[in-house]
Amino acid sequence: MSTSQPSYEQNYGSEEHVLADHLIGLEKAALEKWFKGDTSGYEALWSARSFTYFDAVVTERVDDHETIKRFLSTIRGKLFAERYEIRSPRVQAGQDMAVLTYQLFAKTNLIDMEYNVIEVFQKEETEWHVIHSTWSFIRPMDKTFPNINKVV
């Protein structure tokens, strides 16, 4: 067994490796912009046709791209981090759909991020877009938020 890749990846065929690298690359490109205050990466990655979103600090599901676009406009230019870390990314794929899960860690100017992230991708014509996104706190019962800044 190779130690250079997780054990589940050893069951991947070459197409699955290419897809996993592509989807993780799309997510990393969106995060690169995100942590520079630019929300356009997620605005483009998240499906305009069919999108839902759960966030750790919002009690209800967002049910469309227009609503998330309005939310993104309220934080554009306000969230920054010098670096971030994606841990244990994993892509599980079926025909024209895939799920990316990972843990995200970043110390930002607003909050310390420690999230479990779930991105459900669907191939729309020739491009992959996220049709559902969930960002939930890792072990929320252990969290305290004494210094959280208001984002909106």
How does pLDDT run across 49-87, given as a tens digit for each residue? 999 999 988 889 999 999 999 999 999 999 999 999 999
What range defines the domain where residue 132 resides? 13-140
Cβ-count burial of 8 within 10 angstroms (0-12 exposed, 13-18 middle, 19+ buried)? exposed
pLDDT of residue 57: 82
Q: Does residue 151 lie in a domain region?
A: no
Residue 55 lies in a domain: yes
User: What pLDDT, in 10s, does the model give residues 106-140?
Assistant: 999 988 899 999 999 999 999 999 999 999 999 76
The structural domain count of the chain equals 1
Name the average pLDDT for the chain: 88
CB within 8 Å of 37: residues ≥ 6 apart: 76, 77, 78, 79, 80
Q: Are 62 and 87 in contact (CB under 8 A)?
A: no
Q: Is the pLDDT of residue 94 over 70?
A: yes
Residue 19 is part of a domain; what is its CATH number?
3.10.450.50
